[in-house]
Amino acid sequence: MHDTAKPEPAYQELLSRPIRELGLKLEGSPMERFVEQLYRELDAKGLAKFRPEVYLTDEWGCPSGEPIIGVPFYLANAALAELEKETHDLEDAREIMMYLRHEAGHAFTYAYKLHNKPEWKQIFGPFRRPYRDNYRPAPFSRDYVRHLPGWYAQKHPDEDFAETFAVWLTPRSNWRKRYRGWGAMNKLLYMNRLARKVGKSDPSRRRGLTDITVDEMETTVAEFYHQNAREEVAVTELTPDTDLRDIFPVSKRRKAALPAHEFLHQHRKAVIDKVAQWTGAQRPLIKTLIDSIEKRAGELDLRADKTRSAEHLAEVTAYATALVMTYVAKGKFIQP
């Protein structure tokens, strides 16, 4: 008899351990090569004196006013990355660099205290403007660059600069051609002038103060993921059974049929990415929606047709986008 039981995931033994006891380090980790790539890109743009320190913490970020970059601890360990992929959405190489460039934009602002300069305020707006997580972007506005999903540059002047910096820094972004005629071009040209002006100067602040570091995280891995679990949204409110049956009207007897929830899981990240990119809604909300749709499709035992994958995918993405836009406008997914 062969043992057909699935082996335990590599992260299983880590779940009960406090994160601070895992000995996670940036040096020698899978994340180190991305940080080195960021430094090479800064060099290529003439920012020879700007080397923001990168440390492991609980999420992507740059503490306000501090020229330092925090990256999620799970990116420093392959087993933890597997857990993140299964639980949420693991960033791929392209996304990691996008986030690094964005956070480097924040760090650059703070390192040279640019947010206190009159020209910075004139171009991007007041740094002290209230920071709101739930912001109402103007989709397709040409006054802002497009980098992170959800029209993120429109969230706050600080984010506007960080996004501008990231686009300017990205190799082969071809920003001069892509943003020709846009209001955002003035911001990119400002960034280009700024790099020539301060590139060979030492930053006003070389070192920054971290928020929580990986060595201070006392929660266990399991506790961390439990605390960061998303609240379920009532399926009956946001994914009516009739709609899902219309999207997946496939007979179980069809040879090309596969469980609809498996199809949705395979394409989960791509759908979330596109809905977030074009709606500007909060990513956790979209994840909760897609997870609920996937769960209900499984409960209804619906089937997808492998030969109609593109059609199913387009319909699910359009359906989720319509629900999210209704939520953004009305505060509810389904209106009575």
End-to-end CA distance of the chain: 57
For residues 121 and 117, give the distance between their C-alpha atoms in angstroms, rounded to a whole number.
Answer: 6
What does pTM read for this prediction? 0.85
pLDDT score recorded for residue 238: 63
Q: Give the β-pairing of 303-305 and 53-57.
A: unpaired
pLDDT at residue 52 is higher than 80: yes
Could you tell me which of 104, 77, 113 has the C-alpha nearest to residue 169?
104
Q: Which of 88-92, 210-214, 252-256, 269-273 has the lowest mean pLDDT?
A: 252-256
Can you read off the two tokens belonging to residue 311? Answer: 């059609």
pLDDT at 5 > cutoff 80: no
In angstroms, how far is CA 336 from the centroid of its own chain? 33
Render pLDDT for 139-198 as a digit per residue (tens, 0 to 9): 899 999 999 988 999 999 999 999 999 999 999 999 999 999 999 999 999 999 999 999
pLDDT at res. 1: 40
Task: Find the helix or strand (DSSP H, E) in which 36 lies.
Answer: helix 32-44
Run of H or E including 56:
strand 53-57
Q: Are strands 53-57 and 68-72 parallel, antiparallel or unpaired?
A: parallel
pLDDT of 136 strictly over 90: no
Question: Where in the chain are the domains?
Answer: 12-216, 231-330
- Structure confidence at residue 6 (pLDDT): 54
Report the candidate in 316, 311, 274, 310 with the shortest Cα–Cα distance to residue 293: 316
> What tokens appear for 135 in the block?
């912001």
Mean pLDDT of 20-29: 96
Beta carbons of 142 and 184 less than 8 angstroms apart = yes
| Euclidean distance between CA atoms 39 and 35, whole angstroms | 6
Read off the pLDDT band of 3 (50, 70, 90).
very low
β-sheet bridge partners, residue 305: 257
- Using 50, 70 and 90 to split pLDDT, how confident is the model at 130? confident
Q: Are strands 303-305 and 257-259 parallel, antiparallel or unpaired?
A: antiparallel
Burial class (CB in 10 A: 0-12, 13-18, 19+), 55: middle
Q: Of 148-162, 249-263, 293-307, where does mean pLDDT reach its minimum?
A: 249-263
Looking at residue 331, what is its pLDDT?
75
